[in-house]
Structure 1
Amino acid sequence: MLRQPNELAIADADVEQSVAVVVCAVQRAGHSTSSCWFLYIVSGLWTALLAKERDPGRDVVLVEGDRVGWAASGRNGGFCAASLTHGAANGLARWPDEFAALQALGARNLDAIEAAVGRYGLDCEFERTGEIDVATAPYQYEELRAAAGTAAEHGIDIELLDRDQMRAEVDSPTFHGGLYDRRGVAMLHPAKLAWGLAAAARRLGVRIYERTPATELVRHRAAMAVRTPYGRVLAHRVALGTNVFPSLVRRIRRYTVPVYDYALTTEPLTDAQLASVGWKGRQGLGDSGNQFHYFRLTADRRILWGGYDAVYPRGGRMRPEYEHRPDTYLTLARHFFHCFPQLEGLRFSHAWGGAIDTCTRFSAFFGTAHDGRVGYAAGYTGLGVGATRFGAEVMLDLLAGESTERTRLAMVRDKPLPFPPEPLASVGIGLTKWSLDRADRSQGRRNLWLRAMDRAGLGFDS
């Protein structure tokens, strides 16, 4: 039975919990409690679970601003990737000297997720189906061909598919080819993963308090105090998984901005409809435009179709009304039937949206605060389903003060470039979005603004 706030053990503001780790996947006081896309409670759940695995005697408390799986953790696309760097190209561009290590760590991380699914009996529809990057224009196929060559040079096992091979896997008249990663991505049910991790954590003794937003993080003698509307938790170490919400460590807020992403799912396909598409391998797919779509089959044979629009709200504000965007839903539906005209007449059963936390390097960043008592990970930029487990390992290493293969990475030691303050952020992001759209309509040619952004190592993505 999930406890309500008035039943919490921490209801008395003077009660102190003697805990070693507090995992905070929370929202800031006064922030709307309506659904928001990429707040990764999964980050907190992995941290809690791994903290217990490392030291079963450690007392672990997780406080969550709403319910487990209520936001990004339960309603993302369900792509669980090995990549920790938002793809090989981004990893090679930013960390060429440690790219091989990052690839190995990412592969081990995905294997560890699969092992945890089996060990804890997580009923999350985990399928190691792989993913295909799809070319929907001839120039994109040439870019995939070049990427396949680069991958081969670095020992990455991916397969270039020509037009006929691609359409034999999944049939669309818009497909010109694909790049098939057979082992590096799994599909899963994100809400069931969150619920399963919560149940496993509870069995190990983790105390989870839902609907308990953390409002403040302050020093308390040699420990930290996490304040909530119902009391406080004292802890020697605190791990923050707040992601898209403003961090309780104020100085890291400038490194992320919210980007609203939207998705549709269809009604279940009939046998004839599914046969018209093929898709026997059940792979995840993503097209290769700057404004890309991601799509997959669910366990009950629906097609999840999302992406394309990456909407930065004016001033970076997050509001419940931004979570539904009918114009974007119509755009996604038109694009769906352009991709799969053989499914004309299929109805959409669900539509939703929410905020992703993106950063300028497209992959998570890490650090500590309050003299090492607080660890944080943020900026997953849409690839947090798999990478949050790695982020949990990094936070636990940092909080323990350990020098490990993970903490020695430049990726862990360095920060991305921060976004400029408003109104410069809105102007720059608006110009970037316009330029990316223009590139998609111009055979991928990047204008002067995008080339300058590339040289500076800056970007905007979902």
Structure 2
Amino acid sequence: MSPAAPGTVFSRTPANSAAVEHALAGTRDGCFWIDDARRDATHPPLTGNLDTDLLVVGGGYCGLWTALVAKEREPDRRVVLIEAEEIGWAASGRNGGFCAASITHGEENGRSRWPEEYDTLERLGLANLDAIEATVARYGLDVDYERTGELDVALEPHQVADLRASGAEVLDAAATRARLDSPTYLAAVHDPDVALVHPAKLAYELARAAREAGVEIFEHTRATGIDADGRTGPVRVSTPRATITAHRVALATNVFPSLLARYRMHTVPVYDYALMTEPLTPEQLASIGWEGREGVGDLANQFHYYRLSADNRVLWGGYDAVYHFGRKIRPTYEQRPATYRLLAQHFLTTFPQLEGIRFSHQWAGAIDTSTRFCAYYPLAMNGRVAHAAGFTGLGVGATRFGAEVMLDKLEGADTERTRLEMVRRMPVPFPPEPIASVGIQTTRWAMDRADHRAGKRNLWLRTLDSLGLGFDS
């Protein structure tokens, strides 16, 4: 008989159930970031036909960066942006606010897929983060920007071994707990190339900067179709009340189905869940430290991410990434009490000294996951339509890089970005249902099993690894 699986720190040391119920009593269903941010303007729906040089479809980070950078490159160009709902209402307003330099979903993923060009990808990612920081300063974006870096923490002995094998400077348990005190920590590395932002403020402030640069923004204007006459003429995008004729179109719809049917199988929507505490008192904050205010992520396959807000609330999210059969995106999927209880339990296991705290908000959002864990950048309609999607949870920073790629391609420019293998090649699409659902649920089960078996990956995961395929959030 084989020995019992060791389990994870969260299953070995569960939090007090009464404390969990107390923490969730009165928690509001709603995104803290969106509740907290103040919109400086709203934008009307489009009601009449128009012609434009560039049409951007999507009012999240990717679309907003594309519109703003397009005006920076060519101020006289007419740029129109349409959004089906409201600016930043979906993933761009609901995420954790981790603005990482990585454009490859981390070094390990980047090196394994593009080993010969990874050094270039890393350099371009760092330059992209610097450009974001410069944009924040240049436009005076009020986004609670902090370049704190991120602590990647090991909770299990095999994760410590992985950190040491990486070649990075490893903080031992004592040094890690001196930065942020949790009895679950065994070691950590500090990644300096991560900034933290207020997600909803970033969306609203990018919209303000774009509008002031001359971008015309229309909300509650859903793109319903796309077509063109011939190989060189303008592209027409239809909406419920009007048709937009554009010389070039950038599609930045991310998790939502692309106007181009050929790319709809390249992402799946994965629901990610988060909690936000009430502001910590000075005594509560002192009990855990966190003077560096770093973002934090643990090293499990099913990982948590967490950080402080400007008013010292703790955002706590991740772990239970959920895919629903049929690639559906529905508000009802955000109601998942069992997941919120699990997150609260894990929070109190990590920080038992904060027992008695309450969570003010609970919410969820859909992430556009691709099989290679980072974005892809196809060009369609004879170079007139660009598309970027598949950012897989690290789009806060990488969407700006995606905007530059789309604009380079639409301009027909030969640049260092467009020559990248990562940019030129497409990921393998997800299979149709029911195969997709069976494969994703099998992968989730296998990742959880690996977390409970000292990181040992079974045949299913090893096969996906060998094919360069996966599922992540």
Q: TM-score, normalised by structure 1?
A: 0.92
Match of 1:190 in 2: 199
CA distance in 2, matches of 1:339, 1:438: 21
Measured in 2, the distance between the counterparts of 1:136 and 1:51 equals 44
Q: Secondary structure at 2:143's aligned position in 1?
A: coil
The counterpart of 1:167, out of the listed 177, 188, 208, is: 177
Q: Deviations over 1:224-278 (max 9, x none)?
A: 1111112011100000000000000110111100100000000000000000010
Determine if the alignment matches structure 1 residue 434 to structure 2 residue 445: yes
Paired residue for 2:87? 68
SS of match in other structure, 1:388 = helix
Tell me the secondary structure at the aligned position of residue 255 of structure 1.
Answer: coil
Q: How does 1:31-50 map to 2 (within 5 A)?
A: 41-50=60-69
Q: Which amino acid is 2:189 matched to?
A: L
Structure 2 residue aligned with 1:447? 458
Preserved contact between residue 95 and residue 365 of structure 2 (Cα < 8 Å) = no
2:155 to 120, 136, 139: 136
Which residue of the partner structure matches residue 215 of structure 1? 224
8 A contact 1:159–1:181 mirrored in 2: no
2:58 pairs, out of 18, 21, 25, with 25
Residue by residue over 1:93-149, the C-alpha shift from the partner in whole angstroms, topping out at 9 and shown as x without a partner, is 0000000000000000000000000000000000000001100111111111112x1
Q: Which residue of 1 aligns with 2:279?
A: 268
Counterpart among 33, 53, 76 of residue 72 in structure 2: 53
Answer with 415-424 or 375-384: which moved more: 415-424
Q: Distance in 2 between matches of 1:23 and 1:298?
A: 31
Are 1:180 and 2:190 matched, yes or no?
yes
Q: Which moved more, 1:311-320 or 1:278-287?
A: 311-320
1:16 to 50, 55, 67: 50
Residue 331 of structure 1: CA displacement? 0.3
> 1:2 maps to what in 2?
42
Correspondent of 2:301 among 266, 286, 290? 290
Counterpart of 1:193, as a letter, is L
Equivalent AA in structure 2 for residue 205 of structure 1:
G
C-alpha contact (below 8 Å) 1:130/1:180 kept by paired residues: yes
* TM-fit CA distance, 1:220: 4.3
Check if 1:398 corresponds to 2:409: yes
**TM-score w.r.t. structure 2 length?**
0.90
Tell whether the 8 Å contact from 1:265 to 1:348 is kept in structure 2 after alignment: yes
TM-superposed deviation, 1:53: 0.5
Answer whether contact 1:64 1:213 (CA < 8 A) is retained: yes
Partner of 1:80: 99
Cα offset, 1:218, TM superposition:
1.1
Superposed CA RMSD: 1.0
Query: Would you say 1:417 and 2:436 are equivalent positions?
Result: no
Q: What secondary structure does 2:152 align onto?
A: strand
2:335 corresponds in structure 1 to 324
TM alignment of 1:115-126, pairs within 5 A: 115-126=134-145
Q: Which residue of 2 aligns with 1:91?
A: 110
CA distance in 2: counterparts of 1:315 and 1:331, whole angstroms: 25
What secondary structure sits across from 1:305 in the alignment? strand
Which residue pairs with 2:380 in the alignment? 369
User: SS at 1:272's partner residue?
Assistant: helix
Q: Distance in 1 between matches of 2:203 and 2:243?
A: 25
Q: 1:303 aligns with which of 309, 314, 328?
A: 314
Matches within 5 A, 1:208-287: 208-220=217-229, 222-287=233-298
Q: Partners in 2 of 1:106 and 1:83 — Cα distance? A: 5
Note the residue ranges of structure 2 that are not aligned, 5 or more in a row: 1-40
Count of residues in correspondence between the two structures: 431
- Range that drifts further, 65-74 or 273-282: 65-74
Q: Residue type of the partner of 1:441?
A: H
1:107 is paired with a residue whose SS is: helix
- d(CA) in 2 for partners of 1:288 and 1:232? 48
| Maintained 8 Å contact 1:367/1:398 | no
Offset at residue 431 of structure 1 (A): 0.8
User: 406-415 or 66-75: which moved more?
Assistant: 66-75
1:16: how far off? 3.0
Q: Provide the C-alpha distance between the structure 1 equivalents of 2:423 and 2:121, rounded to a whole number of angstroms.
A: 11
For 2:163 and 2:341, the matched residues in 1 are separated by: 29
The answer (yes or no) to whether the contact 1:377–1:391 under 8 Å persists in 2 is: yes
CA distance in 1, matches of 2:331, 2:281: 35
Q: How far apart, CA to CA, are the structure 2 residues paired with 1:105 and 1:63?
A: 29
Q: Counterparts of 2:344 and 2:188 in 1: how far apart (Å)? A: 23
Does the 8 A contact of 2:325 with 2:437 survive in 1?
A: yes
Equivalent residue in structure 2 for 1:457, among 437, 443, 468 = 468
Report the residue type matching 1:25 in the other structure.
G
Q: Report sequence identity in percent.
A: 61
- The Cα of 1:440 is off from its aligned counterpart by 0.3
Superposed displacement of residue 422, structure 1: 0.7
Q: Where has structure 1 moved over 3 Å in runs of 4 or more?
A: none
The runs of 5 or more residues in structure 1 that have no matched partner are: 27-40, 150-157
